[in-house]
């Protein structure tokens, strides 16, 4: 999850060039700052995010939270080196009780959130919307491979906080994540319309020497009484890296007029930053009429009977809101062939 394969490296004939000023939306751009042993990824999202969030009529606060989850997923999932899936989901007791983002390598994204409209007005930020529960990240490489699942508790904080906690406890990699999501009002042919935009940044300290990677602030919790836990000072390179990330404004992450390269240059130009080939992102659901039909056929007849309304079985995909309507007769199990036991 933390390193890029060498084949993604772009070799330039000249190692130094001016950052591209062309803003590109819906892409993740990996980068490294060798002088500080830092690696990271920067995501900018426009139309793809807008398409996913507009499939449902989310209240703004829910759309923003789901947008943050989508950006976080792109920052973590885009490093997958295989044709697999990265699924981020939360289950919690806040007004947004469940959300899921499904990233299918190399570029397909879909997502949705479940929420209780009546409880939304009490929640002032992402942490309050989620409440307490957990966030799970699953890497699924197909039926023949073992699944990986990472879990982190949600304890009233937002998704940035949960990501920091995850990398601190599970991966022990010093990590900083920034997520920004907003709606912009844009004039169109059919009048002004709100459009979702987002940006995100992930920065990790990955020194070659494992000694330097040790986390200084991880209290072991089992220090014998009378002895003091000796915190190790943080590595200067990491202090510099995370201080730079702390200066990034939401507006910079969101600004459609600043390119990802310009933003990275603005942050790291003093140390030299190297960017790799960016990866595109697309909104695309994997549901299909044939898939829904297969699922219906696999149900017991009793369950199918309960699904009939006004003589039809209607199934709506929670991700993309597509509706599939079937005649009950058309999705019955195939009759056993004569002679079969
Ligand atoms: Zn769908």
Instruction: Transcribe 4-29 into DSSP letters.
Output: --GGGPPPPSSS--PPP-----SEEE
Residues, CB within 5 angstroms of ligand 1 (ion): 285, 287, 317, 319-320, 322
pLDDT score for 336: 58
pLDDT score for 226: 65
> Tokens 């039926």 correspond to what residue?
143
Q: What is the pTM of this model?
A: 0.87
Residue 106: asked if its preceding bond is cis (omega within 30°), the reply is yes
Phi-psi category of residue 312: left, alpha or beta, with phi > 0 → left and psi -120 to 50 → alpha: beta
pLDDT score for 1: 47
Ligand 1 geometric centre to CA of 319 (Å):
5
CA distances to 134, 136, 151, 281, 337 from 88, in Å: 11, 6, 10, 16, 43
What are the phi and psi torsion angles at 160 (to 5°)? -60, -45
Ligand 1 geometric centre to CA of 322 (Å):
6
Ligand 1 geometric centre to CA of 286 (Å):
6
Ligand 1 geometric centre to CA of 159 (Å):
25
pLDDT score for 147: 84
Query: Of the candidates 25, 22, 44, 68, which has an alpha carbon nearest to the alpha carbon of residue 252?
Result: 44
pLDDT score for 131: 96
Ligand 1 geometric centre to CA of 23 (Å):
30
pLDDT score for 49: 97
Ligand 1 geometric centre to CA of 27 (Å):
22
Residue 23 CA, chain-centre distance (Å), reads 21
Q: Determine how β-strand 308-309 pairs with β-strand 312-316.
A: antiparallel
Query: Of the candidates 322, 279, 329, which has an alpha carbon nearest to the alpha carbon of residue 110?
Result: 322
Ligand 1 geometric centre to CA of 260 (Å):
30
Ligand 1 geometric centre to CA of 317 (Å):
5
Q: What residues in the chain have per-residue pLDDT under 50?
A: 1-14
Ligand 1 geometric centre to CA of 102 (Å):
11
Ligand 1 geometric centre to CA of 107 (Å):
16
Ligand 1 geometric centre to CA of 331 (Å):
19
Q: Token pair of 103, please?
A: 């990233």
pLDDT score for 2: 45
């Amino acid at each position: 999850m933390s390193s890029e394969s060498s084949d993604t490296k772009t070799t330039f004939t000249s190692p130094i060039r001016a950052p591209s000023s062309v803003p590109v939306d819906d892409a993740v751009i990996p980068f490294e700052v060798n002088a500080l042993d830092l690696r990271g990824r920067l995501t900018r999202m426009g139309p793809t995010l807008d398409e996913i969030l507009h499939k449902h009529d989310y209240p703004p606060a829910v759309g923003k939270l789901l947008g943050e989850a989508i950006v976080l997923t792109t920052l973590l999932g885009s490093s997958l080196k295989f044709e697999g899936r990265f699924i981020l989901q939360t289950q919690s007791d806040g007004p947004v009780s469940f959300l899921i983002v499904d990233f299918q390598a190399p570029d397909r994204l879909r997502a949705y959130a479940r929420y209780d409209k009546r409880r939304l007005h009490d929640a002032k930020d992402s942490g309050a919307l989620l409440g307490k529960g957990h966030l799970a990240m699953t890497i699924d490489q197909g039926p023949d491979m073992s699944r990986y699942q990472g879990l982190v508790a949600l304890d009233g904080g937002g998704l940035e906080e949960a990501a920091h906690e995850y990398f601190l406890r599970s991966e022990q990699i010093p990590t900083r994540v920034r997520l920004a999501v907003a709606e912009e009002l844009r004039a169109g042919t059919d009048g002004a319309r709100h459009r979702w935009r987002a940006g995100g940044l992930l920065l990790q300290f990955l020194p070659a020497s494992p000694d330097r990677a040790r986390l200084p602030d991880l209290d072991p919790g089992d220090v014998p009484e009378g002895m003091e836990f000796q915190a190790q000072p943080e590595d200067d390179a990491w202090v510099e890296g995370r201080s730079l990330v702390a200066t990034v404004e939401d507006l910079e992450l969101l600004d459609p007029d600043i390119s990802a390269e310009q933003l990275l240059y603005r942050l790291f130009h003093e140390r030299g930053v190297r960017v790799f080939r960016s990866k595109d992102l697309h909104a695309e659901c994997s549901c299909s009429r044939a898939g829904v039909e297969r699922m219906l056929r696999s149900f017991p007849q009793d369950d199918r009977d309960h699904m009939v309304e006004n003589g039809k079985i209607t199934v709506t995909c929670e991700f993309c809101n597509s509706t599939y309507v079937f005649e009950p007769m058309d999705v019955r199990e195939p009759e056993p062939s004569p002679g079969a036991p």
